[in-house]
Amino acid sequence: MIGAVAAGVLAVSTTLVGATAPVSAANTLSMRGADVSSLQRSLDLGARYYDAGGVARDPLDILKSVGVNYVRLRVWNNPVSGYNNKSRVLAQAATARAKGLKVLIDFHYSDTWADPGKQYKPAAWAGHSLSQLRTDVYGFTYDVCSSLSRQGTPPDSVQIGNEINVGMLWNEGRVVNNDFAPLAGLLKQGYNATKACGSGIPVMIHTANADSNANARWFYDGIRAQGVQWDMTALSYYCVWHGTLSNLYNNIVDLRGRYGKPMVIVETAYPFTRSNADSEPNAIGDAACDGISATWSGQAQEFDWVQNTARNAGAIGVFYWEPTWYAVRGNGWDPANINGTGNQWDNMAVFDWSGRVNPGVRWTS
């Protein structure tokens, strides 16, 4: 099953148990993305990037040459590091658009990482009530989006919240006892602000629920019942945490049919080695999936299988998370101690520890 789906053969009917309606497979992945949020810091520290032939080139040019047409940029409110804030994102967006790449803006609504296990409010919003937070979300979203538009690089898509499996801006925006109303009010403000900035900008709602169709239905049913609007359904998929490719396939098919919205995998990655380049433990170390080794060829194969699975299930996009974040000293994991922490992703980038790209990795339509 897994091998057949991964190899690009549609081995399973698109009318699956649990799906609400038959869904025809998409022919292409129109969003072939790379989250390069850490890239500017690496470049500022002197990182060099080399193509498969060993020639030093701009990393965005290298990525574009192997199929990337979209970049994803996270925006934090006021990170201590001074990176991934509004001004940095404006500069990165301008660079990307100048190279003909589209831009997805990923709002975390935090000064640091937001994911299923933590959704910390920005320090400036720490004492705010739910009502104030709704105003905050609208204002910050509109400010970043309109600033991008004023410089001539309006976002091509916007993501309201990052991996918000049980809400965002905790505790006010956390889903407790199946009460989605507080979160829904925040999401509506993010959606409305984006549409006020540009009515045609698609809005994604992103969870890391690729592993559980029941959890995904619970979440998206919950926000839909509260009147939340969104344009694309976005998932993270890391096989070590989110299960088999066949499970991913079934979940994409079901969610696409259930909500009638395009599906995008906005985060995925796979290790090219089990070794560690620095003192910071790797986020994903010894684990492997689908019988694939943590090698150059293994990384390329797993990414190819994820793309094929998503495509066959009808998704329209796949983004690799932080392919350029290789082992560059000073570009640490913790934005509050960016110089003093290591990189937990050094074995997951598609550039090795000397900056040379994996010659087998391709983004394919």
Between residues 70 and 1, which one has the greater pLDDT? 70
**Which pLDDT score is estimated for 159?**
98
Q: Is the per-residue pLDDT at 314 higher than 70?
A: yes
- Please confirm, yes or no, whether 302 is among the known catalytic residues: no
Amino acid at 306: V
Q: Is residue 87 part of a domain?
A: yes
* Banded model confidence at residue 50, pLDDT cuts 50, 70, 90: very high
Catalytic residue among 172, 267, 302, 322: 267
**Beta carbons of 66 and 363 less than 8 angstroms apart:** yes
Q: Classify each residue of 182-206 as buried b or exposed e, where b means 16 or more C-beta atoms within 10 Å of its C-beta.
A: bbbbbbbbbbbbbbebbeebbbbbb
Residue 334 burial (CB count, 10 A): 16
Q: Is the pLDDT of residue 259 over 70?
A: yes
DSSP string, 275-339: --SSSSPPSS-S---TT--SSHHHHHHHHHHHHHHHHHHT--EEEEE-TT--S-TT--S-GGGTT
Report the run of H or E that residue 219 belongs to, with start and end. helix 213-225
pLDDT band at residue 9 using 50, 70 and 90 as cut-offs: very low
Cis peptide before 171 (omega within 30 of 0): yes
**Range 261-279 average pLDDT:** 94
How much is the pLDDT for 14?
34
Question: Given phi > 0 = left and psi -120 to 50 = alpha, else beta, which region is 301?
Answer: alpha
DSSP code of 52?
Answer: T
pLDDT band at 51 (very low <50, low <70, confident <90, very high): very high
Flag whether pLDDT at 60 surpasses 80.
Answer: yes
Q: Which residues, in sequence order, are CB contacts of 105 under 8 Å at separation 6+?
A: 73, 75, 89, 93, 144, 145, 148, 155, 157, 158, 159
Q: Which domain holds residue 222?
A: 69-269+292-315
pLDDT over threshold 80, residue 24: no
pLDDT, tens only, 131-140: 999 999 999 9
Contacts of 93 (CB under 8 A, 6+ apart): 73, 103, 105, 148, 151, 153, 155
pLDDT of residue 290: 87
Number of separate domains in the chain: 1
Q: What is the mean pLDDT of the chain?
A: 92
pLDDT of residue 15: 32
What integer pLDDT is reported at residue 279 of this predicted model? Answer: 82
Q: What is the pLDDT, as a whole number, of residue 270?
A: 96
Distance CA 132, CA 109 (A): 14
Residue 16 has pLDDT above 60, yes or no: no
12-16, 61-65, 79-83, 341-345: lowest mean pLDDT where? 12-16
**How far is 216 from 227, CA to CA, in rounded Å?**
17
Residue 250 lies in a domain: yes
12 part of a folded domain: no
Measured between its terminal Cα atoms, the distance across the chain in Å is 22
How many whole angstroms separate alpha carbon 151 and alpha carbon 159? Answer: 20
Q: What is the CATH number of the domain that holds 206?
A: 3.20.20.80
pLDDT of residue 136: 98
pLDDT at 21: 35
Q: Residue 287 pLDDT more than 90?
A: no
The average pLDDT across 94-108 equals 98
Q: Does residue 267 have an active-site annotation? A: yes
User: Which range (5-9, 94-98, 115-119, 239-243) has the least confidence?
Assistant: 5-9
Q: Is residue 62 one of the residues assigned to a domain?
A: no
State the average pLDDT over residues 330-358: 95
Q: Does residue 82 belong to any structural domain of this protein?
A: yes
Share of the chain above pLDDT 70, in %: 92
Residue 237 forms part of a structural domain: yes
**Burial tier of 37 (Cβ tally within 10 Å: 0-12, 13-18, 19+):** buried
Kindly name the residue from 163, 172, 302, 322 that is annotated as catalytic: 163
What type of residue sits at position 354?
S
How would residue 239 be classed by pLDDT, with cut points 50, 70 and 90? very high
pLDDT at 22 over 80: no
Give residue 282's pLDDT.
Answer: 87
298 lies in some domain: yes
- Give me the pLDDT at residue 286, please: 73
pLDDT in tens, 169-210: 999 999 999 999 999 999 999 999 999 999 999 999 999 999
Give the pLDDT mean for 305-327. 97
Q: Is the pLDDT of residue 89 over 70?
A: yes
CA distance 318 to 131: 35
Q: Is residue 117 part of a domain?
A: yes
